[in-house]
Amino acid sequence: MPCILKIDPEKPDAAAIEEAIRILKAGGVIAYPTETFYGLGGDARNEEAVEKIYRIKGRSFTSPLSVIVGTVDGALSLVQEITSPGCRLIEKFWPGPLTLVFHAAAAVSPRLTAHTGKIGIRMSSHPLAALIAGRLSGPVTATSANLSGGKECLSADDVVRCLGDRPDAVIDAGPAAGGKGSTILDLTVHPPTLLREGIIPFADIKTVLHGGE
């Protein structure tokens, strides 16, 4: 069994949060709730942690990992630039389930981007995911906490049944909302291209891109 950290997302226990951050800083991997499903979190700046996540999921190294950041400044440090369309989308939809794909900054590990030179980033609207990214002061991987190609996990119990003791810790914060995942939009091309329609409808994104509210 992995270490189970029971945390109320509305009243998070400081000691439990600090334990999760300690694990991340030591290169460990945690499962944590987001506004969609439970995710697998590692310090995205740590290549050993990134590789561990690939191994846990049985994921191909040709598939990049997206990340959650605590602030827009945290995103700025990971990308070459945020263009005007990106700024409008960030202002409208972050924090929230919109993953934006940018050209990665030179300092970003090619292992994280799967040598694509691109990185997917979002700010989570889930209070615990946001708190973890903020306390780490760095990007946290946001891939789903499941075996590659398998069903997403909606609870800590689901994660344990699926992944056993492969994560170093699982945060039990009650059920995730489920449904669709985050919407993914590629901003490295013109016009921006929808890679996956999730919670946020593409029609709403197009309205913002075309100057509407």
For residues 29 and 124, give the distance between their C-alpha atoms in angstroms, rounded to a whole number. Answer: 18
Instruction: Tell me the pLDDT of the chain (213 aa) as tens digits.
Output: 789 999 999 999 999 999 999 999 999 999 999 999 999 999 999 999 999 999 999 999 999 999 999 999 999 999 999 999 999 999 999 999 999 999 999 999 999 999 999 999 999 999 999 999 999 999 999 999 999 999 999 999 999 999 999 999 999 999 999 999 999 999 999 999 999 999 999 999 999 998 755
Instruction: Write the DSSP assignment of 101-138 as a string of letters.
Output: EEEBPTTS-HHHHTTSSEEEEE---SHHHHHHHHHHTS
Identify the structural domains of the chain with CATH numbers, from first to last. 3-209 (3.90.870.10)
| Confidence at residue 94, expressed as pLDDT on a 0 to 100 scale | 98
Q: Do you find a cis peptide bond into 85, omega within 30 degrees of 0?
A: no
**What is the pTM (predicted TM-score) of this model?**
0.95
Straight-line distance from the first to the last Cα atom of the chain, in angstroms, rounded to the nearest whole number:
48
| Confidence at residue 85, expressed as pLDDT on a 0 to 100 scale | 95
- pLDDT, tens digit (0-9, with 9 covering 90-100), for 109-129: 999 999 999 999 999 999 999
| Confidence at residue 213, expressed as pLDDT on a 0 to 100 scale | 52
| Confidence at residue 78, expressed as pLDDT on a 0 to 100 scale | 98
| Confidence at residue 41, expressed as pLDDT on a 0 to 100 scale | 97
Q: Do you find a cis peptide bond into 139, omega within 30 degrees of 0?
A: no
Question: Helix 84-93 vs helix 202-209: angle between axes, to the nearest 10 degrees?
Answer: 130
| Confidence at residue 2, expressed as pLDDT on a 0 to 100 scale | 82
| Confidence at residue 211, expressed as pLDDT on a 0 to 100 scale | 79
The count of C-alpha atoms lying within 13 angstroms of the C-alpha of 145, restricted to the half-sphere facing its C-beta, is: 35
